[in-house]
């Protein structure tokens, strides 16, 4: 899998290029088109997933909003966030979507560990979270309650901050969109939304939890971890 560092690029044009690449992969005799990983950051933009509800975007201010074809709810992209777009043929890789999500999350966890931070999964809420009281601690995080609403368990974010988000699309076995890891951002735009559809969910970055590291270094490490875990 080739890693391409795109730098700061417009969200909508990058999305169109992802769709075009994926369309070409579905053409006759294109089955051997190589997987590729794009690493980038975007100017400030809110993106809304296919299932996105308008009530989760309540104060966009002057930031543009883009309705996309990925899964999930609303999120924010902006400078200081590493965005990874694996353009991956899942059938050739030999696993399905659930396994793909797990591998994306594992690459994010391993990237955080490289910088001395422990990442956690939350059942029912894709993405990676950190313990705000002890982001470097290795204790296993466990939910504090089993509260439920409308017959469904509500993910428990007690004591956690979200540091990485996922949103994917799979078309004819080929995945696009991907993951975003917050490095050193202006986090205030997250206060204008319910991140990923969850009210009161705090969003953090590496800088917030005391890790000072360059965007380029995080991008390089995350790219390496993604290649290792997606193609293992």
**Residues 94-123: tens digit of each pLDDT:** 999 999 999 999 999 999 999 999 999 998
Which one has a higher pLDDT value, 148 or 157?
A: 157
Task: For residue 17, give every residue at least 6 positions away whose Cβ sits within 8 Å of its Cβ, in sequence order, or none.
Answer: none
- The average pLDDT across 134-159 equals 73
Band (pLDDT 50/70/90 cuts) for residue 21 is: very high
- Give residue 51's pLDDT: 84
DSSP alpha helix (H) spans, 70-177: 90-93, 97-114
DSSP alpha helix (H) spans, the chain: 11-25, 90-93, 97-114, 215-230
In the predicted structure, residue 232 carries a pLDDT above the cut 70: yes
162-193 tens-digit pLDDT = 999 999 999 989 999 999 999 999 999 999 99
Look up residue 33 and give its DSSP letter.
P
The reply to whether the predicted model has a pTM over 0.75 is yes
Band (pLDDT 50/70/90 cuts) for residue 152 is: low
- Give residue 144's pLDDT: 62
Angle at alpha carbon of residue 79, lines to 77 and 81, rounded to 5°: 65
- Cα Rg, the chain, nearest whole Å: 17
Domains, in order of start, for the chain:
2-230 (3.30.930.10)
- Give residue 153's pLDDT: 66
C-beta of residue 176 within 8 angstroms of C-beta of residue 19: yes
Share of the chain above pLDDT 70, in %: 94
In the predicted structure, residue 128 carries a pLDDT above the cut 90: yes
Share of the chain above pLDDT 90, in %: 76
In the predicted structure, residue 151 carries a pLDDT above the cut 80: no
When the pLDDT of each residue in the chain is averaged and rounded to a whole number, the result is 92
C-beta of residue 165 within 8 angstroms of C-beta of residue 179: yes
Instruction: Report the C-alpha gap between 39 and 122 in whole angstroms.
Output: 25
- Give residue 64's pLDDT: 96
Count of Cβ atoms closer than 10 Å to residue 8 Cβ: 11
For the chain, the residue count is 232
Give the residue carrying structure tokens 């949103």. Answer: 167
- Give residue 150's pLDDT: 47
Catalytic residues, by residue number, are 196
Handedness of CA 67, 73, 78, 82 (dihedral sign): negative
């Amino acid at each position: 899998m080739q890693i391409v560092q795109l730098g700061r690029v417009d969200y909508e044009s990058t999305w169109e290029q992802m769709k075009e690449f994926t369309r070409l992969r579905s053409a006759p005799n294109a089955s051997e088109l190589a997987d590729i990983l794009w690493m980038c950051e975007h100017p400030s933009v809110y993106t809304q997933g296919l299932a996105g509800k308008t009530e989760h975007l309540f104060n966009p201010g002057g930031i543009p909003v883009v309705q996309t074809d990925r899964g999930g709810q609303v999120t924010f992209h902006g400078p200081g966030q590493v965005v990874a777009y694996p353009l991956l043929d899942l059938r050739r890789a030999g696993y399905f979507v659930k396994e793909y999500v797990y591998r994306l999350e594992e690459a994010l966890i391993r990237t955080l560990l490289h910088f001395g931070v422990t990442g956690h999964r939350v059942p029912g809420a894709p993405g990676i979270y950190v313990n705000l009281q002890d982001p470097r601690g290795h204790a296993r995080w466990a939910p504090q309650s089993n509260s439920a609403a409308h017959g469904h368990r509500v993910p428990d974010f007690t004591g956690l901050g979200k540091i990485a988000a996922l949103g994917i699309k799979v078309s004819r076995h080929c995945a696009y969109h991907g993951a975003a890891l917050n490095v050193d951002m202006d986090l205030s735009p997250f206060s204008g939304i319910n991140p990923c559809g969850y009210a009161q969910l705090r969003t953090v970055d590496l800088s917030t939890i005391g890790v000072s590291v360059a965007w380029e270094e995080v991008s390089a490490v995350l790219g390496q971890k993604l290649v290792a875990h997606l193609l293992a």
